[in-house]
């Protein structure tokens, strides 16, 4: 299992990243994280453990998630890559909507640059296609931001294979961030496409306990699936097996599991070095 992936051909990242979304207020990931200082310590601990790829987005907070990252880590060192997203607006915990207008994307990007304390964002992703805006116009706005030196590489999130191909006709696509995990494999064709094209695939919801459920850590006690059975046999948690399976699934996969727990953070990082045998993989991939 390769431990790094080269995003865009020039950004080496450890394949076990960190999804910072949970470092927000609740409910609805709205408002500042109430344990701000402990959140900063968690981010710093992640970097100490070798994590150099951190995922966030404008609507996480909104804005506060980017601020806690820069408060903890700026000025960034050790090749740390912070990827953020624009194209979704959040005005209340339960009021979230796509906004892919070119002028909005430019505004979102400029605000993210300020909050993250960056001159250029290494990887900037369209958070979600906006049905009210031609997809090519949203992608074109990101291409213009790239040409202007505001962003280094362009990524997409919550997209179909057809949309990826449409975007590639406008600008090089360096990442795709869709929902995918051990239980939800509908994106298999996109994962395979990304592997062929050298595009980073960033699965969100990598630890979902069951299809279409919110992400929650899998545990040996609460899960009796093949994940837990394999985990008990090799001395790992079900969650660690789920993450290791994803890393084995494709060399283009870069994981971004989120947590607010230092213990869980350590478990996630350790999963990157977990070795699954052929027998383990055969059992995990068995149908039925």
Question: What are the pLDDT digits (tens) for 37-96?
Answer: 999 999 999 999 999 999 999 999 999 999 999 999 999 988 999 999 999 999 999 999
pLDDT surpassing 50 at residue 143: yes
pLDDT of residue 168: 98
76: tokens are 């960034």
Mean pLDDT of 243-260: 97
> Within 10 A of 4 (CB to CB), how many other CB atoms are there?
13
| Helix extents (H) in the chain | 36-48, 64-73, 102-116, 135-147, 161-168, 188-197, 226-234, 238-249, 262-271, 278-285
Active site residues: 60
pLDDT surpassing 90 at residue 212: no
pLDDT surpassing 60 at residue 211: no
DSSP bridge partners of 81: 53
Residue 208 — very low, low, confident or very high, per pLDDT cuts 50/70/90? confident
Tell whether domain 4-209+250-259 is in CATH 3.20.20.100: yes
Pick 288 or 197 by higher pLDDT. 197
The answer for residues whose C-beta is within 8 angstroms of residue 85's C-beta and 6 or more apart is 56, 57, 58, 124, 125, 126, 127, 155, 157, 177
Ranges 66-70, 78-82, 126-130, 220-224: which has the least confidence: 220-224
pLDDT surpassing 60 at residue 210: no
Distances (CA, A) of 263 to 42, 45, 139, 195: 10, 11, 39, 32
pLDDT of residue 222: 44
pLDDT of residue 209: 58
pLDDT surpassing 80 at residue 130: yes
The reported pTM is 0.94
């Amino acid at each position: 299992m390769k431990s790094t992936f080269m995003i865009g051909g020039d950004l080496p990242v450890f394949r076990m990243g960190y999804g910072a979304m949970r470092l927000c207020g609740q409910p609805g990931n709205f408002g500042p994280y109430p344990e701000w200082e402990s959140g900063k310590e968690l981010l710093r601990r992640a970097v100490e453990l070798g994590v150099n790829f951190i995922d966030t987005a404008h609507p996480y907070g909104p804005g506060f998630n980017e601020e806690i990252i820069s408060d903890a880590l700026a000025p960034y060192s050790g090749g740390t890559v912070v990827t953020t997203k624009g194209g979704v607006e959040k005005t209340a915990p339960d009021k979230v909507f796509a906004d892919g207008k070119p002028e909005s994307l430019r505004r979102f990007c400029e605000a993210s640059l300020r909050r993250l304390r960056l001159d250029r964002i290494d990887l900037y992703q369209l958070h979600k296609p906006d049905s009210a805006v031609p997809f090519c116009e949203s992608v074109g706005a990101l291409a213009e931001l790239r040409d202007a030196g505001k962003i280094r590489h362009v990524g997409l999130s919550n997209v179909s294979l057809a949309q990826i191909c449409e975007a590639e006709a406008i600008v090089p696509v360096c990442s795709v961030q869709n929902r995918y995990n051990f239980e939800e494999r509908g994106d298999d064709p996109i994962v395979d496409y990304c592997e062929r094209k050298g595009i980073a695939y960033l699965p969100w919801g990598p630890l979902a306990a069951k299809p279409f459920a919110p992400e929650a850590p899998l545990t040996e006690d609460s899960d009796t699936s093949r994940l837990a059975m394999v985990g008990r046999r090799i001395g790992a948690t079900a969650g660690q097996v789920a993450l290791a399976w994803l890393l084995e699934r494709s060399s283009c996969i870069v994981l971004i599991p989120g947590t607010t727990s230092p213990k869980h953070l350590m478990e996630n990082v350790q999963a990157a070095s977990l070795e699954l045998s052929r027998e383990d993989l055969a059992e995990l991939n068995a149908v039925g």
